[in-house]
């Protein structure tokens, strides 16, 4: 998946007062769409999911030497893992049932079911959900819900692309740093590409991903995180420096 463009998107849509106009090619294993609130980041993901009413949209996936158009397909046929910004957990299911939602739709026979459960177990481990597996969404904190949201997206059978909207919002930083290497390992194993959305500079830099910078519904830059977010990086270092200076010395 890392070699060459794996997905491409062209979209024009009116989202409230915002005119979203973007044309993008995704080549990196992990792409971060970065921008301020209201810049159209989530709408971009929704356009890929087929959840946004667009004036024009063209969304395609590389398949062999050709391209498979996805924009004409219903959402459930696009082979996507999706974690929306609001966790949107199914309230009548336990944590485990939520995570297993996608895998338990069509397993035929005992072997297929067993295999599906193994994938669910692996996701429960990666996102540290074992202790919560019998709880209902009502009993979870924001960070816990978000981890279930992520785990559920990771177990979609046959998924080719993960779309994660503010995936680590509310997740404890220590836990995030612990989960991230295992997530990346899993993605590599399954040859899965990720497009995530964030407004957190630190997160964008941490992921070492390609960054698409979105402002006012338009793409203003695309490239390596350290280049696209150079200004923010300098500002962040200055802030950290200032904070360090303000710490009383010995």
Partner 1 sequence: MDFPALGLTLRLAGTTTLVLLLVATPLAAWIAGGSGWLRRMVQAVVALPLVLPPTVLGFYLLVGMAPGTMVGRVLIRVVGHSLAFTFWGLVVGSVVYSLPFAVVPLVTGFSSVNRELRETASVLGAGPLTVFRRIVVPLSGMSFAMAAVLAFAHTVGEFGVVLMIGGDIPGVTRTLSISIFDAVQEANYAGANRMAVWLVAVSFVALLGVYWRGARVQGSGSRG
In terms of CB distance, is 98 or 198 closer to partner 1? 98
For partner 1 (CB under 8 A), the number of binding residues is 28
Residue 80 in the binding site for partner 1 (CB under 8 A)? yes
The encoded tokens of residue 75 equal 């959402």
* Other Cβ atoms closer than 10 A to 1: 19
- The binding track of 158-177 with respect to partner 1, each residue x by CB under 8 A or -, is -----x--------------
* Other Cβ atoms closer than 10 A to 39: 22
CB 96, min distance to partner 1, A? 15
Cβ neighbours of residue 33 under 8 Å, at least 6 residues apart?
41, 44, 45, 195, 196, 197, 198, 211, 212, 214
Q: Which stretch binds partner 1 (CB under 8 A): 2-10, 36-44, 89-97, 220-228?
A: 89-97
Residue pair 149/84 in contact (Cβ under 8 Å)? The answer is: yes
Q: Which stretch binds partner 1 (CB under 8 A): 76-84, 193-201, 220-228, 236-244?
A: 76-84
Residue pair 30/225 in contact (Cβ under 8 Å)? The answer is: no
Tell me which of 18, 88, 180, 236 binds partner 1, using CB under 8 A.
88
Q: Provide Rg for the chain, Cα atoms.
A: 19
Tell me which of 2, 53, 86, 188 binds partner 1, using CB under 8 A.
86
Q: Which residues lie near partner 1 (CB under 8 A)?
A: 49-51, 74-76, 78-82, 84, 86, 88-92, 101-102, 105, 137-138, 152-153, 156-157, 163
């Amino acid at each position: 998946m890392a070699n060459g463009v794996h997905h491409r998107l062209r979209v024009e849509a009116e989202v409230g007062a915002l005119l979203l106009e973007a044309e993008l090619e995704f080549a990196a294993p992990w792409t971060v769409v970065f921008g301020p609130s209201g810049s159209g980041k989530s709408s971009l993901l929704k356009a890929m999911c087929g959840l946004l009413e667009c004036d024009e949209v063209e969304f395609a996936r590389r398949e062999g030497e050709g391209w498979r158009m996805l924009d004409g397909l219903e959402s459930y046929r696009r082979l996507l893992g999706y974690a929306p910004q609001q966790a949107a957990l199914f309230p009548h299911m336990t944590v485990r049932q939520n995570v297993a939602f996608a895998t338990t739709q069509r397993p035929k026979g005992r072997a297929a079911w067993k295999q599906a459960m193994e994938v669910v177990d692996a996701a429960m481990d990666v996102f540290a959900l074992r202790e919560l597996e019998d709880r209902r969404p009502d009993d979870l904190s924001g960070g816990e819900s978000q981890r279930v949201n992520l785990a559920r997206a990771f177990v979609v059978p046959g998924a080719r692309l993960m779309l994660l909207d503010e995936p680590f919002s509310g997740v404890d930083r220590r836990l995030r740093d612990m989960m991230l290497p295992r997530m990346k390992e899993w993605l590599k194993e399954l040859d899965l590409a990720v497009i995530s959305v964030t407004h957190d500079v630190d997160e964008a830099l941490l992921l070492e991903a390609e960054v698409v910078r979105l402002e006012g519904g338009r793409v203003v830059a695309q490239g390596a995180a350290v280049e696209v977010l150079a200004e923010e990086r300098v500002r962040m270092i200055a802030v950290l420096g200032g904070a360090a200076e303000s710490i009383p010395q010995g």
